[in-house]
Amino acid sequence: MVLGAATGINMTMGVTYSWSVIKKALVSDWQWTNVEASLPLTIYTAIFALAMVFAGRMQDKLGPRLVANTGGIFMATGLISCSFTSTPLLMTIAYGITGIGNGLCYSTTIPASIKWFPPEKKGFATGIVVSGIGLATVYISPIANWLIGHYGIPKTFLFLGTGAFLIIMMLAQFLSNPPHGYHPKTKLGLSTRPVVAEGHLHREVHWREMIRIALFYKLWFMYFFAASAGLLIIGHIAAIAKTQAHWENGYYLVIFFALLNTSGRLVAGFLSDLYGRLSILLCVFLLQAVNLVFFVHYVTPTSLALGAMTTGLCYGTFFALFPLVTADFFGMKNFGGNYGLLFLAWGFAGILGPILAGFAVDKTGTYHMAYLVSAGLLVGSFLLALTIRPAKVIS
């Protein structure tokens, strides 16, 4: 029940993926500039990442239900407030409130779920939970497009906010941490046994101790470099299709990306239980680097679809594996706060990736330079991963 509720909350949080559709309407119907219509999403991304830091710590202390309920209120307040705004500044502020809500909700779904499962099943459980957001990409854009076409932009925000509020508030009641002293049955023994990381023994690492460990910074930059590559592609995929393949229907690539993004989360979590988190990450870093090196040669709709699908597969993998390596190395007791700090890497990646792509195409007329720089960053992630010894449960 906890796993299902957490997955449902993540799917509901995916209403924010409707922004690409809303942005198009803001430009065409309200005559906003592209910069004005992009600003709310940029601020939302930054606030979402920052909120995760504080929300994770709240979840560790107060439990998932209260934090998720609060997140649902903030999320609904932000979206419904957008329905009463008509200027870029006010909508940016309102949509930023939505980012607070999503940060609160997302901080509860992973820890509340995986605490119930033994080590050999945590990967698959995490894959299921984070796949909810990937699935949202598939269903929310058509819904938002239909709402805008029939009711306009303000009522679209109103309906999305009201629906998200009702669903999250209902599902949040099923979130709970295991009772004190709970130990899931496992082939490996008690899931609370300590792990060895970087040659040191850590039972439950607090964030104040974590930020003094070199391993944390290695993981942070691995996440930062890897996520920026995926955000580079997804943020510009329609423009890439037009520039490289002279294809006006590049929005179809978003669907391909979304499907593989979801699959990557599920498959990576499952495989990491069998072969280890770092082994899967090493493979994915290399796959994504090679994909980006060849991306400039994807000049047909078919090749671009394959490139977008590969990017989605790799991008989804990171959302499943980085929470797991955080739990493996630093424990579950302070997982919310610890992963919140690591998740800041995704927030910064949301700035680097799209800006790098925009700078490259403005200066050179192509995305080739951005692809190569991102491929180089992924090689950097690969090299960093090679310096980390896998976490091992000890007896």
In order of 28, 69, 198, the CA distances from 137 in angstroms are 22, 23, 37
Please write the tens of the pLDDT for every residue from 308-365.
999 999 999 999 999 999 998 998 888 888 999 999 999 899 888 878 888 888 888 8
Contact 334, 206 (CB under 8 A): yes
Stretch among 148-157, 190-199, 240-249, 386-395 having the lowest mean pLDDT: 190-199
Look at phi and psi of residue 389 and say left if phi exceeds 0, alpha if psi is from -120 to 50, else beta: beta
User: Taking residues 188-214, what's their average pLDDT?
Assistant: 64
Place 219 in a pLDDT band, splitting at 50, 70 and 90.
very high
Task: Name the one residue in this structure whose structure tokens are 């600003």.
Answer: 39
Residue 193 predicted with pLDDT over 50: no
Structure tokens at 203: 């039972």
More confident residue, 75 or 41: 75
Contact 347, 51 (CB under 8 A): no
Structure tokens at 189: 């023994």
User: Taking residues 213-220, what's their average pLDDT?
Assistant: 95
What pLDDT does 3 receive? Answer: 94
The Cβ-side half-sphere exposure at 46, using a 13 Å CA radius, reads 10
Stretch among 191-200, 237-246, 287-296 having the lowest mean pLDDT: 191-200
Structure tokens at 270: 């499952």
What pLDDT does 242 receive? Answer: 82
Distance CA 128, CA 124 (A): 6
Distance CA 17, CA 249 (A): 18
Structure tokens at 9: 């909350």
Distance CA 269, CA 264 (A): 8
Please write the tens of the pLDDT for every residue from 123-145.
889 999 988 887 887 788 788 88
Q: Please give the radius of gyration of the chain, using alpha carbons only, rounded to the nearest integer.
A: 20
Classify 45 as helix, strand or coil.
helix
For residue 184, what is the DSSP state? -
pTM: 0.82
In order of 52, 71, 139, 214, the CA distances from 165 in angstroms are 19, 9, 18, 40
